Each structure stands twice: as structure tokens, then as C-alpha cells.
Structure 1
């Protein structure tokens, strides 16, 4: 098991207002539920020991004393349990009552964090009972059963790679939440013990706060709010539980439940730390962090997370939700067309030249060009589409290319490259029957030469068709299909290209075009550089040679986006593709990916301009700067 993963939980126990014994029983039940799922951290709601809505009962000594007794019992309960418990309860210290988070581990209170900001407006009037904790640090307090307990808002609780910072309810809603400073001081998991009541649309805003704060702080954010048992007098609570992770909500419960609830998620701590190390603005912000934190060390017996039940998407570049996927495709398509429109306007060029093979990449590029020309009100006849049949061109791809170009009303031209290639083989002394890399690349460069020369002749711009996956693998001919005057697909992985073409076929095409696009989608991926088989079908299938693109896109995402080790990538791939590829197959193609990624960097160091559309781009002008001669040995 990879040691960077940890299971964390948010819990909402059944409560009765001011019934501490009842509340403690349900808190313990929630702890056991979290433990059963191998969680190492559980966050409970604000003041859940007493309940949040006790109002003036907080001034009753019996409530405070029974709260302390329950904390002591919870400490005893936790002695043999390998889980960090963050519980909400009051603390009376130097005649001031504080709304606090008690952090308990194996029979001991590791620290107590007071609420920094007390809401005192509309339905809230916490300052009637509590004192603000903001500014409290480097302090200790003593209880009857434990002495010298760290007390302050600047505490971070650390075990191995876990660094936990805590805040309470309103703290998240202020201009600069304490968790912002705690994250800059090192906390990679943030917990919030909350008692947030329900009014119309508040849950959506609360969710956006958790999502946004986890993103800004490049952290995981575990949020637990009081449940319906807290509802009293004028307020209703829903027991909202949320787990955010670097800008995404990865788990959320159904609110208004009447039983104890625990949600659990797996967090990748290495991924968060790597994201922070790559984000220079994060490290720059650390220079101005006013917090001097106190790190409180503790140690788990083990970091076993039990069943690895975190969902690992097979296609990380492609949203699994169709509605989100369609929206994403529309957005990407608009980015591509806007980028090309800018280049055409800037250069004053009114013509585009593109080679059309009948494959996915050139089809997407053509669709982008057509939409761009429509946007700029340039006639489609200014789009010069050229199909260049060679030794391996099949009837299927040829007919699709011809029909697509004609149905889109472009200036369609056909130039057969066979004779030119045969002449070139003769010129360089290459046997025509020798089907090696020279045989293939001669065709690719011949096609590029034709496109470039026609661009000169017509005063047009050659639009590149290659995609991100091909760039990652170096699956292109240097100074052949590797080269263009502007490349519209350069940061779109192959798995996403399919969905973009599918989106256009469904949302932005008439039936004739849509039918053609569907057939192109069903065509095997091939450069068609080797002769056809005896039945005239594609003999050279790219994925048979270089490996499945869905695997390579998965490898690319975790290698570049998260800086993951090959061991970790292989581990995650085995989970994502467990019903599709075995471990041996994954290991084989991962080795191929790493080898090609390193050895083909020289091609990426000399690629044309093109729009960045997602978080991963391999442009040498900013996104990915890598020595062309770097060794891959350490990665293998």
C-alpha cells in the first residue's frame, strides 16, 4: 500500500440539547463506525458534547462539569483506538468560556483549539456566553484529569505526513479564515467543527466555502455540522457533512438524517504536498504568514487504510457525469476556436490549410477551423482541406475524409503522395519493400511539405492536428506531422478528443455530418503508413504498437499533474482498470510510457504555438520544461 493515503471522516451524532450522556453514547458509536472503515481522523460538530443551542444553560456549572466528565470518559474510551478524535465542547478558563475543539488521541487530550470568531448577528449571539479565541497561542491549560494541555488557535497536529489544522464554524465564513494561515504554516488537512443552521440556499453556499477553501489552501477540508437533534426554538440544523479536496467536494452526505452519520474519504497527502511545491504563489504567500504555529506530534500504530474504496477514474481528463462532460467539451471547443480566431486576426490571414486523414485528430481540427471561420464570417471555401492518400490509406478513412470535407463546403483537394514517395525512396536509395521507420516518415514529411507549400502558394496558415497524447509519447514524425503553423489540439489528450468529436456530432452538427463523425469515432486509430491488409483494412493500429491511449493518458495525468512515482501510478492504474488490464499489462505499458516520454522530449522542445485548454500542457514555453537528454533510469 502507498503510504501517502489516509482515511478521514466527518461525523454527525444524534444529539439531545443539554443531554450530555445521550450525546456521548452517540459520539462513541460514530467513532466506532469510523474505525470500522479504517479511518484515522474523525471530525465532530461544534459543541456536540453539550449541544450548540444550550443558550444561557452555558452559564450553569453543572453543564460545564458534566462536559468535562464526558471528555474524560471519551479519553478513556479512546485509549486502545488508533484514531484522532476532534470533538466540540466548552472550556472555562480564567473566568472566560470558550467554544472549543478538543483533540483526543489514545486517552490523552493533545490540544484544545478555541473558536477565533464568534458570530453575533441575525440569529447568532455567541458573545453572550463565549469569549473569542483569536490571538490565543503559546498557552497551556489544566483540567482535573490532565495537566498542561496546549491551548491556542495556532496548533497543528502532526503524525507522519498528516498535518491537521482546526477551525470552528464561523472561522470559515470570515474574510481570512484561520485555516488559511494554518495551511501556509504547513497544515495539509483542515477540520471544521460547525453548527451551521439551515435556511434556503445556505447549504449551497456552505458547500462552495468548503470547496473554495480546500482549493485556495491546497488541502483537504473535513467539515462536520450539527444534526437535526440540535434544532430548537427558532433554528433548524441538518447535519451537513462535507469532505473537500483541493477544490473539489469528494464526499457529501444526505442532510436531515435522523440516525448517526459518518462519511469517510481517502486523502492523498503526497498529492497535496506536491501541488503546493509546484504552486509558487503558495510558497510566496508563506512569507507573509503571521502565524507561529506549535506542532504537536503524535504517532499512529499503523497507517493501514483497510479497503481502498477511493474511486479512481479511468479517464481523469474526461468528466464521468454527462452533463458536466458536455459543458466541458463546449468550453474546450470555444477555447480552441477563440485561440485560432485570434491568430487569424493578428496575422490578417484569411485562409487555413489542413490535412484530413479521416481520423479523429484531423477531424477535430477541421471542426475547430469551420467554427472559427463561421465566427469570423470568413467563407468556408477559404478552408483548404487536403487529403493525401498513401500506401496504407483505406477506403473507409478516405471516403470519410472526402465526404466530411465536401459536406462542410470546404475547398477540398486530393493529392496522392505515392508517386512522390516512390521517387524519394529512389533518391535516397531506400528499398520500397523495406517497411521501416524511414518508409513511414517519408510519407509523413511529404504530406507536411505539401501543406506548407500550398500555404505559401495560397497565403494561408497550416493548422496542426496532433494531440497531447501523441506529444507525450513522441508519436509523431519530427518535422513531419510534428510541425505546423498553429496547432489547435496540442493540449487535448486522445481520450478527450473522442468526446469532443462526439459532442460536436450531437450538439453542433446536422444529421449528415453527425453520421460521418460517428463512423470516424468508430474507426481504429492508425497513422496508415503501412500497406493495407489483404482485405483492404487498416493493418497498422497505433494502440497495438504503442499501447492503449486510455492507459497512457492515465499515466500522463498522474506523472505530470501530480508528480507521482511509477510505483504509485501503477498502484492507481490497477485500481482504475482492474476489470480491463492485468498488472503485467499495466506495468508493460507504463514502462513504454516512461521510456518514450523521456526519449522524445526533443520533439516537444520544438513544437508550434497552440492553446492550453486544461491543467496539463507540454508546451516548452512555460508548462513543461525538461532537458531533452534527461535519463529515465531512476523512474524505471
Structure 2
């Protein structure tokens, strides 16, 4: 009988579930538009405060916001002091809530307000959740600060000290508790209030483990020197620890300044990253809006097995779920932006991040050289970006180990497509860095090979190209044997993702220092090295290498001696492929969402047809070329993504790409 009841409950809720799936997958790509509101207040003037709250709810609803949070005790003002003991204030607060309910009953938006609520002889500092003229639930504050400038225990009772699970408010019997979770068609959210965040174990931790994907904090956080930076660090850490969105709204202008000042903080974080922030110390009301990607958060939680383990090991209070009404979907209008080069460090941390990348590569190579007792590092130098970065890593490794740079053997191997520009750059760079230089032409060996296998040297097909790559690898391996050395690989993450490497050619080495460094970052790192601490000769060569078109140079140059075989003309722009790679592997996004983000991010740079074409290429090649990644040489993981078969990415070589290719425009 129980199973039958469960079945009917499922059938009854099926439209809701379908709406949730439809909304997430087909309309909003998992984004939930949220807001942190900072209204103007007048202390103890509930009618004025209710009107200001209404205005911000209406503004937010007009901008497509689905959930909006207001500051702690915003209906009365946080700084009422002993006025909280006045019956009139409590009655007016409830009347203010009724006013808001009545005037927003036609709106879909869910609003979270702060107000005092009386219950059986005690007073609670609460968050009241409302939608379409109804109160959905009441969440009382758990931890009441009672130190320094705070005296909340003088007026309020902690949620820990009440056993009731409901409260009468505005003529309704409302679910109440610190363990309430609110379910919408798009997400599940939980609420904590101000000091709760500062506790050793915030209530939001338990709420997240029980399924809350977005956490709201109604706060009255006052200002002090250095406190804001600490607050931001606290929110960032909690959102990252909970793998959740975190929306923080704090009191602003209008609160009493008798002893403290409130700056009005509106902050929105997602898994440790700041999405949006309001203007502090503003004298005007604010609505800070952004979109939290709950689809991304769900993926992160599934991947992070520690999250699930923590849930099973801890025993938080069982949650009570409160269902919100369905919100009619609005067209997605993102306010947040996306970095077109997600792998490239930005801003003030640029130097620190670049140094960190080199340090990881250098440490990995140093350990491998010392462990194998190698007497040399052998590396093919083409005058291109990848071999240049690998050479710079070798140089820094030898310098750090105190070894002579002459132990680095740079081998340039001119072939049928080598141009004067790349050849000159390769020779100039090796000479300026003071390494051992060797030149071995592959032309005659390849011509003999074509004769041996009966291949026409005038047919510039895959046999013509790959034989050159394999000949170069054989030369490097044999020189390494001659010199008791190790072949240092140069291939980068982007090439490996696309399979743009010759199997058992440049695909193979004894240690691949660039294996988890994407092409956009390779270019940036070489430029950064050139501009930081290099002599003038090396700097000039490095900057010219950065500006050289990317090419394997396996096809003869044109009549003017220029590179004819440009990689990005064949497989697409690397900045697009790195964007695809980041959101495909790091975030697990479906192709339609990646296309949506790319079209938005690269608007004015590439049209949608071009983006779609190269996304199809990326997906097709990524699946078809897995067999090359299944037998990669060792190499250090540098960033958030690695496709080593021993590390982050394990995939069958014959997995079908059909669903992903069909899903680009779904």
C-alpha cells in the first residue's frame, strides 16, 4: 500500500518535476538569478521599511530575479535595542509584513525578510520567506552574539532553545525551524542569519549537506578596520567548503550610528568566487544581482567524494522541506560575465600564478632527473611556443639544481616545412640560453623512408606529415640514449585534448612538462618570461616566437618562405578550444550550455556558426583521439585540469560522441 501511495504522490508531482527539468535543461542552463537587497531603513518605522522593501522586490522581479534576500531585522531595523520589548513594535512589524504580502501577491519572486517574531513568551530573530502573498516558512537565528557591541540575548532567544516547529504569523500556521530547506523548480536553498556564519560550525554547513545549493545570510554586520576583508574571506571559504552559492545581505544607511556604522554589504559568491558586490557606504538603496550556476554546483558535489563522505559521517538535524510555488520561467538575461581565457591568470596575482606554474613544472622535472640519475635533458627545439616553454622549464630546473646548462641538449631538426623564421628563432634562443646545440636534418632520412615504404614524396598526406614527426622522436630518443639523458616532451594540454599529435611521434617522450598546460597559458607564460628578467637577446627572440603562427611545419612553406600550414586554420582557434575544454572537463557542462556561454563571451569576435563549427570539431576530436591520451607519458599536473589516464581523466577510447554532438543546440 505504501508503494502505491508513493506512486500516486509521484504522479501528482510529475508536472512539477518536468517543469524543473525543463527549466534547468532547456531554458536557464542551471542558472538561478538571485539578489542581495540593501534597502533604506528608518529605525522602528515599520511602515516606511515595508514600503522600501516592496520597491526593491518589484525592481528585482522586473529584472527576472527568482530569490531576493534582505538584511537582518530589516522590517523594524536592526538597532531598535530595548524597543524590541515593545508590543507596538512587534505588532507593527507583523502589519508591515502583511502590507508586503498584499502588495507583492501577484509576483512570482521569492523574498526573504528579516523581522522579530514572537512565540510563546519568547522573541525570535528570524528570516521570513514569502511568495505570492503567502509565508512559506520562518527560520530563527541560531547563534546570538552577546559580546563587545552585541547584546542580542537581551532581547532574543536562540533557535536551539525552542522546540516548536510552527508559528502563527499573519493568520497562517507556518513551518518554523533552523533546519528548513526551501524547494523551488530550479534549486533548493537554506538560510542562516548573521552570527551563524561566524560560528565554528555554521548552520549552513548542515543545510548544504542536506541538499541546500544556495545559502542566504540576512546580516547586520557592522564595519571596522579590516573587518570587510575578513568577512569576504569568511563568505568565500564557506561557499567553497559547502560547494554552494552564498548570498549575503547586510544593513546599510538608516540604521542607528549611536555606537557602530553599517556599510550595507550586498555580496554574492559561488563556490569560493565572488560574482557580484554592492557599493559599500552608499546612501542609496541597492539591489545586487547575479546568477548562481546550480548545475555547476551539482557537478562539483558529485565529483567531490569528500562532500558525500562528510554527509554520511555527520548526523545533522533532519531537514524539513518547504515547497515554493512554481515560478514562470523568464528569458535568461545573464548579468555575470565569463573570462574568454579561463586558464590564464588575471589581475594582481599574475606574477605569483606564473611563478607557481613554473615552480610546479620545475619541481616535477627535477625529481624525475634526480631519480633516474639522468646526465642530460634532451629536447627538440622547433622555434614554436611549446618547445620554447619546455626549454625554459629545463633551464630553470638545471639552474635550481646547480647543474650546468650545457647538460641541456637542444636539438633542432629542420624538415620540409621548416621556415627561416622558426629555424633562426630556435638557434638564437638556444645560443642565448647557453645550452648545447645540435642540428640534425630529417629530410634525407624521410626521403629514404618514403622509398622504403613506396610513398610518393610529392603526396603531402598524413603519411608524409607523420613520418617526419616520428623521425624527430626517434632522433631525440637515440640522442638521449647516447648521452644518458631523458627526452623532455613539449606537447601541451590543448593539443592532447584535440589529439593534435602524431601517435608515437611528438605524442611520446620520457617526461612531458607541458602536458597539463593549455595553449593559451603556454603563450602567456612565454610572454611573461620574456618580459620578466630575460636579457635583451632572449627577450626579443621570445616575443617573436609568441607572435609566430602556430604550426607543425610539416608542409613546405609558400613561395615567399612563409608558414603555409597554420594549425588554427585546420582545427580552429585555440582560445575557443581552451574555453570549450575548461567548461567541458572542469565544469561538466552540456554542449548547448558551452555553446551558449561561448556565443555570449566571444560576441563580436566569432559569429555563432563559427563557434558551433569549432565546438563540433572539439567534441568529435576529443572523443575520437582518446586512445592517444590513454598512453601518455608522465608529467606534472599544473592547474585544475589534467587528462592523464593516471590522474583526472579516465575514459574508454571507444566511447560514443553522438549524444554530445547532437546536444550542441538542444
Q: Could you state the TM-score of these two structures normalised by the residue count of structure 2?
A: 0.94
Q: Using a 3 Å threshold, how does the CA distance of structure 1 residues 196 and 497 change in structure 2: closer, same or farther?
A: same
Cα distance in 1, alignment partners of residues 290 and 160 from structure 2: 30
Cα distance in 1, alignment partners of residues 242 and 331 from structure 2: 24
Cα distance in 2, alignment partners of residues 89 and 80 from structure 1: 22
Displacement of 1:305 in angstroms is 4.9
Q: Which runs of 5+ in 1 are unaligned?
A: none
Instruction: Look up the match of 1:117.
Output: 143
Is 1:200 aligned to residue 225 of structure 2? yes
Cα distance in 2, alignment partners of residues 391 and 365 from structure 1: 23
Cα distance in 2, alignment partners of residues 137 and 313 from structure 1: 48
Kindly report which structure 2 residues correspond to 1:102-501, keeping only aligned pairs within 5 A, or say none: 102-134=128-160, 139-143=165-169, 145-287=170-312, 288-321=314-347, 323-501=348-526
* 1:137 and 1:154 in contact (8 A); partners too: no
Displacement of 1:350 in angstroms is 3.3
In the alignment, which of 592, 605, 608 is matched to residue 583 of structure 1? 608
Is 1:74 aligned to residue 117 of structure 2? no
* 2:239 and 2:271 in contact (8 A); partners too: yes
Cα distance in 2, alignment partners of residues 309 and 180 from structure 1: 28
Cα distance in 2, alignment partners of residues 269 and 299 from structure 1: 19
Deviations 1:389-432 (A, max 9, x none): 00000000000000000000000111111001111111111111
In the alignment, which of 606, 612, 618 is matched to residue 631 of structure 2? 606
Instruction: Look up the match of 2:12.
Output: none
In the alignment, which of 38, 59, 67 is matched to residue 12 of structure 1? 38
SS in 2 for 1:507: coil
Q: Using a 3 Å threshold, how does the CA distance of structure 1 residues 119 and 441 change in structure 2: closer, same or farther?
A: same
SS in 2 for 1:153: coil
Displacement of 1:517 in angstroms is 0.7
* 1:350 and 1:378 in contact (8 A); partners too: no
* 1:198 and 1:235 in contact (8 A); partners too: yes
Count of residue pairs brought into register by the alignment: 634
Indicate the larger mover: 1-10 or 97-106: 1-10
Cα distance in 1, alignment partners of residues 332 and 628 from structure 2: 44
Q: Using a 3 Å threshold, how does the CA distance of structure 1 residues 317 and 467 change in structure 2: closer, same or farther?
A: same
Cα distance in 2, alignment partners of residues 374 and 318 from structure 1: 26
SS in 1 for 2:495: helix
Is 1:41 aligned to residue 67 of structure 2? yes
Instruction: Look up the match of 1:83.
Output: 109
Cα distance in 1, alignment partners of residues 377 and 251 from structure 2: 61
Cα distance in 1, alignment partners of residues 569 and 164 from structure 2: 63
Is 1:596 aligned to residue 606 of structure 2? no
Displacement of 1:320 in angstroms is 4.0
Q: Could you state the TM-score of these two structures normalised by the residue count of structure 1?
A: 0.98
* 1:184 and 1:289 in contact (8 A); partners too: no
Displacement of 1:38 in angstroms is 1.3
Deviations 1:92-147 (A, max 9, x none): 1011111000001010000000001001111111111110113757711112x332
Indicate the larger mover: 623-632 or 305-314: 305-314
Instruction: Look up the match of 1:93.
Output: 119
* 1:243 and 1:249 in contact (8 A); partners too: yes
* 1:3 and 1:303 in contact (8 A); partners too: no
* 2:290 and 2:334 in contact (8 A); partners too: no
